[in-house]
């Protein structure tokens, strides 16, 4: 991509992807006309020239206190200034002073939001895995786990609101310290029952895991969020504190697919292994995706592995065509709807079932049956 291509990419991303974040709309437009910003993207490897990665890198510098000119515009840093004609100069000052750190983020970083509100769908999916396998003690493996925050899903306070206005609370009670997840429960299926299963073991795999106890790692996770979203920021911080206190193990693995079988081999008897992938397959090559699917099916037959998958429908659904999307709340976009599937062994063969659609950040869940 030449500079004109990058400029077009920046402007289009701001216009099409950031409509709910006015600061990022303006910042993308300012960067599109900024020679230094374009040069920064040019120095990154082609596969790393991502607008959301640049935005996260700038946000990280703001949260670190290294970009005071920009901080005035960021709600996440206590700023309240609306985008104006001085935003371009503030961007240029940050780029000039923080160039080495920004370039390091672009060359080696990856946006990792570790969105725990997906727990609104993961929690009932785990219940369905327990029901389908007859297990009550689950060993959860989160592949592409980032900081492993979804491994604490059973520790977060869940609240579902149904179409009739009723509120259904699941998981531990709210206490002002636990991460809290609010979600609309759509359709005629009843909300999930209280859990009759428990997570006995929790493990995560990631090529570049984040330690939730590490202030710099947590700051990067927060930088990957949009600046105005205080609710997600607080939820992430609470979840990180909870997971840091849990018996969670996370491993760095260059080949996460190959690491699944050794994890299975080390499990104690009497636990049901469950693999979780949520918005991870999108980043797989076609060859790696095929290898993952073949490996999981083989391990399902040999070790009883069950797989909960939440991705774009074309990636989640292997055995059947994706089901039709249910009616969504006003203002919700169908294009990013997540399809949740469960794949496990039944009567000696691998079978798959569509469980639910959800918002990618858990704002709503539509259970399918």
The residues with which 364 forms a beta bridge, in sequence order, are 184
pLDDT tens digits, one per residue of 1-45: 788 999 999 999 999 989 889 999 999 999 999 999 999 999 999
HSE-up of 73 (CA within 13 Å, CB side)?
A: 24
Among 134-138, 312-316, 321-325, which is the least confidently predicted range?
321-325
| Residue 292, C-beta contacts closer than 8 angstroms, at least 6 positions apart | 257, 281, 284
Contact residues for 369 (Cβ-Cβ < 8 A; gap 6+): 189
pTM value is 0.90
Of 65, 83, 108, which residue sits at a domain end? Answer: 108
Round to whole Å and give the CA distance between 279 and 144: 9
41 and 120 co-located in one domain: no
Q: Residues 83, 198: one domain?
A: no
User: Of the residues 47, 77, 108, which one is the last residue of a structural domain?
Assistant: 108
* Claim to verify: residue 179 and residue 33 sit in the same structural domain: no
129 with 87, same domain: the answer is no
Asked whether residue 361 falls in the same domain as residue 276, the answer is yes
Note whether 277 and 183 are same-domain residues: yes
Domains identified in the chain, total number:
2
Structural domain of 221:
116-367
- Find out whether 322 and 340 touch, Cβ atoms under 8 Å: no
- Domain boundary residue, one of 108, 132, 157: 108
Say if residue 330 is in the same domain as residue 300. Answer: yes
Residues 35 and 58 reside in one and the same domain = yes
What are the tens digits of pLDDT across the range 82-113? 999 999 999 999 999 999 999 999 999 888 76
């Amino acid at each position: 991509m030449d500079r004109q291509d990058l400029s077009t990419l920046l402007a289009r991303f701001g216009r099409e992807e950031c409509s709910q974040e006015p600061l990022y709309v303006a910042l993308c437009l300012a960067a599109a006309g900024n020679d230094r910003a374009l040069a920064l993207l040019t120095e990154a490897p082609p596969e790393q020239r991502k607008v959301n990665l640049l935005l996260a890198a700038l946000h990280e510098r703001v949260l670190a206190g290294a970009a005071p000119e920009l901080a005035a515009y960021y709600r996440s840093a206590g700023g309240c200034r609306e985008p104006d004609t001085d935003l371009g100069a503030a961007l240029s000052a940050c780029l000039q002073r923080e160039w080495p750190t920004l370039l390091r983020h672009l060359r080696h970083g990856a946006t990792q939001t570790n969105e725990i509100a997906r727990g609104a769908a993961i929690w009932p999916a785990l219940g369905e895995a327990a029901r389908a396998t007859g297990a009550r003690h689950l060993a959860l493996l989160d592949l592409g786990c980032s900081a492993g925050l979804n491994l604490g899903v059973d520790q977060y306070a869940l609240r579902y609101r149904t179409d009739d206005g009723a509120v259904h609370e699941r998981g531990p009670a709210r206490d002002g310290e636990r991460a809290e997840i609010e979600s609309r429960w759509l359709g005629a299926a009843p909300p999930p029952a209280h859990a009759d299963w428990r997570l006995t073991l929790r493990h995560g795999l990631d090529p570049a895991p984040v330690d939730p106890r590490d202030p710099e790692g947590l700051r990067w996770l927060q930088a990957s969020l949009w600046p105005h979203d205080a609710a997600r920021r607080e939820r992430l911080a609470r979840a990180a504190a909870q997971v840091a206190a849990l018996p969670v193990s996370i491993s760095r693995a260059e080949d996460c697919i190959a690491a699944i079988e050794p994890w299975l081999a080390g499990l104690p008897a009497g636990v049901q292994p469950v693999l979780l992938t949520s918005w991870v397959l999108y980043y797989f090559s076609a060859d790696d995706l095929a290898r993952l699917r073949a490996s999981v099916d083989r391990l399902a037959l040999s070790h009883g592995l069950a797989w909960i998958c939440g991705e774009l429908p074309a990636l989640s659904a292997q055995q059947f065509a994706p089901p039709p999307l249910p009616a969504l709340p006003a203002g919700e976009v169908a294009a990013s709807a997540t399809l949740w599937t469960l794949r496990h062994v039944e009567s000696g063969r691998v079978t798959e079932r569509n469980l639910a659609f959800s918002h990618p950040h858990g704002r709503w869940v539509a259970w399918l049956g």
